[in-house]
Amino acid sequence: MIKNIYRKTISEKLRRKIHIFLRKSHSLFLRGNKFYCPTCSQSFKKFLSKGNGIETRENSVCPYCASLERTRLLYLFLKNETKIFNNNPKILHIAPEDALKKHYLNNPNYYDVDINPNYASHKMDITNINFDDNSFDYIICSHVLGHIYNEPLAINELSRVLKSGGVLFALSLIDLNSAQTVESDLNITPQQKLQAYGEPDLLRLHGLDFIDRLKRTNLKIDVIDYRTNFSKEENIKLSLGNGRRELIYKCVKV
Ligand SMILES: [Zn+2]
């Protein structure tokens, strides 16, 4: 009941700010040397666990910046292997992770969007991107496409607004044991989606054919498991995940 009153009387945007403040305050008690978060450059004795009812990932969430395994790995890849942080390239960041977003805030050509305006600077539906063709040097679209009803249209739109030579980084939850994406009745309940796809708000669980679903005549795609660039000890210290959520699909527009 108290939860309901809290939700009804305080806006989603303010609730989010309160949540972030409390999280950062709590992180002071978790300082230590066992884990290191590259996105906020802080060390902790543990990361927070993340569970969804059928799976719990220990040491998943940075207690300060809330980066996840995939956020930390993508940040390291972008920092070490791309020029995304040089010379203010034009960037479209879809459903932006705060831990990544803060690294672009000095770039006047950075544009973050979400279907929910409480979670980004601009509201946008990625099946109807209101930018001209060939607009962006980089697009970051991490763990979004599995939630989009018309996924092919979203991919067409992402490809359309990418400049020639531009790069789309797409990530998703992948069933590494399944060749095919599982996609069934869109009207199943969140609990059924959780059981079938691993998250209560996913519309499908991508399989190894995610690369085929991304394919367009003008996109050259590489699948990168960037975890392999780090030692076993580094993988543990940075908590870079098990590969199900962290594969980077690098799509270059040719
Ligand atoms: Zn962090």
**pTM for the model:** 0.92
Q: When comparing pLDDT for 118 and 138, which is higher? A: 138
CATH number of the domain enclosing 221: 3.40.50.150
Amino acid 234: pLDDT: 98
Ligand 1 centroid, distance to 144 Cα (angstroms): 21
Asked if residue 9 has pLDDT above 80, the reply is no
- Strand 42-44 and strand 31-37: pairing? antiparallel
Ligand 1 centroid, distance to 61 Cα (angstroms): 8
In a domain? residue 81: yes
In a domain? residue 56: no
Q: Are 73 and 240 in contact (CB under 8 A)?
A: yes
Ligand 1 centroid, distance to 39 Cα (angstroms): 5
In a domain? residue 52: no
In a domain? residue 202: yes
Closest CA to 42 of 51, 29, 54: 29
Q: Extract the tokens encoding 61.
A: 């969430």
Asked if residue 129 has pLDDT above 90, the reply is yes
pLDDT in tens, 138-177: 999 999 999 999 999 999 999 999 999 999 999 999 999 9
Q: When comparing pLDDT for 6 and 132, which is higher? A: 132
Residues 6+ apart with CB under 8 A from 209: 179, 180, 181
In a domain? residue 154: yes
Q: Which residue has the tokens 């990544």?
A: 100
Ligand 1 centroid, distance to 65 Cα (angstroms): 4
Ligand 1 centroid, distance to 190 Cα (angstroms): 29
In a domain? residue 160: yes
In a domain? residue 117: yes
DSSP the chain: -HHHHHHHHS-HHHHHHHHHHHHHHHHGGGEEEEEEETTTTEEES-PEEEE-SS-EEEEEE-TTT---HHHHHHHHHHHHH--TTSS---EEEES--HHHHTTTTT-TTEEEEESSGGGSSEE--TTS--S-TT-EEEEEEES-GGG-TTHHHHHHHHHHHEEEEEEEEEE--B-TT-SS-B---TT--HHHHHHHHSSTT-S-BB-TTHHHHH--TTEEEEEE-GGGGS-HHHHHHHT---STTT-EEEEEE-
pLDDT in tens, 87-106: 999 999 999 999 999 999 89
Q: Residue 76 — very low, low, confident or very high, per pLDDT cuts 50/70/90?
A: very high
Amino acid 54: pLDDT: 86
Residue 124's CB is within 10 A of a number of other CB atoms, namely 19
Asked if residue 10 has pLDDT above 80, the reply is no
Ligand 1 centroid, distance to 64 Cα (angstroms): 5
In a domain? residue 32: no
Rounded mean pLDDT, 99-119: 94
**What's the total number of domains in the chain?**
1
What's the whole-number average pLDDT of the chain? 94
Range of the domain at 85: 68-253
Amino acid 52: pLDDT: 84
